[in-house]
Structure formats: C-alpha cells, structure tokens
C-alpha cells in the first residue's frame, strides 16, 4: 500500500547558510538564549520548547501561545517541519516514510510495530559516505548531513501519522517505544547535529525519551564512539559483520582506518549502565562470514564485552554479489555463540517487500 502526500511543509526557510534560526534546530539551552535575545523570560522558552515538540504542530500558529509572542517568533525565526511525500506499508505492517527535504534530498524512516509496541528507525544523513558493500544506502554516496530539525522532524512526522491513523496514547512520548538510529547514514559522522537532536529528544520539557529507549548505531568511528560515551548516555549498537580484519576491511572500508582491535577496545571503554550491553549487528553473508569458524572467532573477539548479538538475514535487492545462508547454517552459527555464553538472536527481516529492511534504504519513491 502506498500513500502520497504533500512535500515537506516549512514555515519560512531556515538555511544553514545564513537564513533565520530554525527553532527546531535548538536544544532547550540554546532556545533559552535565543528567546532571551528577544526579551522573553526563560520560562517562556520552556513553554515554546514543549509546544515545538508536539505531534501535529506544523507552524507558529499552532503553538498555542499568545499572538504577541507568536508574531515575535515569526519575525525573527523559522520553524521547519517534515511531512512524508510517500508512505508504504509492508505485508508485515512495517511502514516506510519518504521525506523530501528543502533542497530535494530524500531520506527515509521506518516504523516497525511489534506486539503493541513501535520502534522507529531514524536517518541521520542523506546518503552515506561509508561505502559498505552490502548496503544500498552506501551505494548512493554521501549527499549531506541532516540538521537537528530534520532528525527530530522524522520522529514528529511519524508520531503525527500515528495519531492521524487512530493510535492513541496518554502522552506523545508513549507513541514510540524505541528510537534506533539505524536508518540512512552513519550517525557518528554527523556527530554535532546528532548530539543536539538527542538532547532535544531526551529533554523532559519536550518528548522526554529515556536513554534506555534510544540506540545509536555505528560502523565503527572510534573517536566519535569515545565522544558519545562522554557526552550523553544512550544505547550503542555496532555494525560488526565480521570478526576477521581482512574480511571486514573488504566489506566495510571504515575498517581500514579503524581496525577491529581499535573498535573492540573502544567498545570495552564505552560506559555501560548496570545490566547494559552493546548490541553487535552481524549480517549473514553466504560463503563470506557465515562459517562455524567465523562464529568461533566472533565469540573469541567479543569475550569480556557485555554483548547481545543480532544475526541479520541479508536483504538483497536486484543484482547483488551476496546471498543469505540457509536457515540451518544460521542456526548452527547461533548455536556456537550461545554455547560460548552470548545472548544471540536471529532477527526476522521486516519490511523487505517495500525495501525497508536493514541495508535497503535508498531514498527512492
């Protein structure tokens, strides 16, 4: 099922190149500073921040604050919002949202419902510079980083869609149970904007997502992993895909800069709360990384790291050099890891029929 809507809605034009300040690019701390410059008190900033991050609020007139303040904001700032240009629904109820940005760049988000809960897979870049061979997004090349407003805007747009579809919760933050930064792009390559977006999403005056409900994935940008652990508390996922340096380098160019030894050392340094683990993602590629020897090597390399391992079936699309091993081989691989003491799960592919599964996001309508 596909649903077409209008292009991304914007109230004014907020440009990184000298345009008016987009209020949705600002953390609460920076918004307080901005409204103070307009002569407004800090408590007013908190009210504006809360209203900015409600589903369905598309322009200043919908903030529900005084006309005087609304006029002042409209004169000195912009307020961007996203609306999907297309929504596709999979047979398994997964939904993919396509957004056209103000410069016509395309990004996608994926809503995954399961047992009454909803997880949103969020994009952090248009395209990706990492060039992982098995990933369609990497094949696009890098277009640009997303601004905080464009990252948070995906969350607000999907929440608005859910409310319009009749999903009701006591508060907006209850609409989505989990946010995973596993969409288009390498989140840590857009670090400053990602960090601001996380602060906005986690602020109790706004959407108030707790740290346990947000997961940031990386292909292994080691210095930024250290920064993330220092600057904010969220769950960490690592796209590993091989425990052999040569194989991983052939699949993921980042490994030539930050090899396995450095990556796993960063994982050991990453600050984890009580009972927290690092999620390791491992795409099963037939004849490349799926042997029992590969499983034993993976178990050896991850020893001492609090871990959960997700084995992902490869989601090919069109002509591809890769294929997925059969179920028996994947089960045998899982068995080796479980016997070594690792919580290991075979993740069922969701949304493959609408090109919404892992590695399939390509920013196409």
* Catalytic residue annotation: 108, 358
Cα(337)–Cα(316) distance, rounded to whole angstroms?
A: 25
DSSP 199: H
Contact assessment for residue 6 and residue 98, using Cβ atoms and an 8 Å cutoff: no
Structure tokens at 194: 């990602």
Q: Is 225 helix (H, G, I), strand (E, B) or coil?
A: helix
Residue with tokens 């869609």: 161
Cα separation, 194 vs 200, whole angstroms? 10
Residue whose pair of structure tokens reads 């209203």 in the numeric block:
51
Beta-sheet pairing, 10-11 with 77-80: antiparallel
- List for the chain the helix, strand, coil content (%; round to 5): 40, 20, 40
User: Taking the CB of residue 142, how many other CB atoms lie within 10 A of it?
Assistant: 17
Which pair of tokens denotes residue 190?
Answer: 């857009």
Beta carbons within 10 angstroms of residue 297's beta carbon:
17
E strands present in 219-285? 235-239, 278-284
Q: Are 220 and 249 contacting, i.e. CB atoms less than 8 angstroms apart?
A: no
238 within 8 A of 252, measured Cβ to Cβ: no
Residues 6 or more apart whose Cβ sits within 8 Å of residue 12: 20, 74, 77, 78, 79
SS3 annotation, 24-72? HHCCHHHHHHHHHHCCCCHHHHHHHHHHHCCCCCCCHHHCCCCHHHHHH
**What are 225's two structure tokens?**
């992993």
């Amino acid at each position: 099922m596909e649903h077409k809507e209008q292009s991304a809605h914007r109230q004014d034009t907020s440009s990184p190149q000298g345009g008016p300040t987009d209020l949705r690019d600002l953390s609460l701390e920076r918004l307080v500073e901005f409204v103070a410059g307009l002569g407004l008190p800090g408590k007013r900033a908190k009210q504006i921040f809360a209203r900015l991050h409600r589903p369905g609020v598309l322009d200043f007139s919908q903030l529900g604050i005084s006309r005087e303040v609304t006029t002042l904001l409209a004169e000195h700032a912009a307020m961007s919002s996203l609306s999907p240009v297309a929504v596709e629904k999979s047979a398994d109820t997964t939904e993919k949202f396509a957004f056209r940005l103000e410069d016509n760049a395309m990004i996608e988000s994926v809503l995954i419902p399961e047992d009454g809960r909803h997880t949103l897979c969020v994009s952090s870049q248009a395209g990706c510079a990492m060039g992982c061979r098995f990933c369609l997004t990497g094949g696009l090349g890098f277009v640009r980083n997303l601004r905080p407003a464009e990252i948070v805007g995906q969350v607000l747009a999907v929440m608005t869609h859910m409310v319009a579809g009749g999903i009701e919760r006591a508060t907006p933050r209850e609409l989505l149970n989990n946010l995973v930064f596993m969409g288009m792009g390498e989140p840590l390559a857009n670090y400053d904007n990602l960090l601001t977006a996380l602060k906005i999403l986690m602020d109790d005056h706004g959407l108030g997502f707790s740290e346990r409900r947000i997961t940031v994935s990386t292909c292994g940008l080691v210095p930024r992993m250290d920064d993330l652990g220092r600057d904010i508390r969220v769950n960490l996922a690592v796209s590993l895909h091989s425990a052999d340096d040569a194989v991983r380098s052939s699949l993921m160019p980042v490994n030539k800069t930050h090899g396995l030894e450095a990556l796993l050392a960063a994982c050991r340094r990453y600050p984890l709360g009580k009972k927290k683990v690092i999620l390791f993602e491992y795409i099963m590629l037939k004849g490349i990384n799926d042997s029992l020897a590969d499983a034993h090597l993976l178990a050896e390399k991850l020893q001492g790291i609090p871990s959960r391992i997700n084995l992902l079936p490869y989601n090919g699309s069109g002509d591809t050099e890769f294929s997925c091993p059969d179920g028996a081989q994947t089960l045998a691989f899982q068995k080796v890891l479980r016997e070594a003491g690792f919580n290991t799960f075979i993740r069922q592919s969701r949304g493959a029929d609408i090109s919404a599964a892992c590695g399939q996001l390509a920013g196409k309508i």
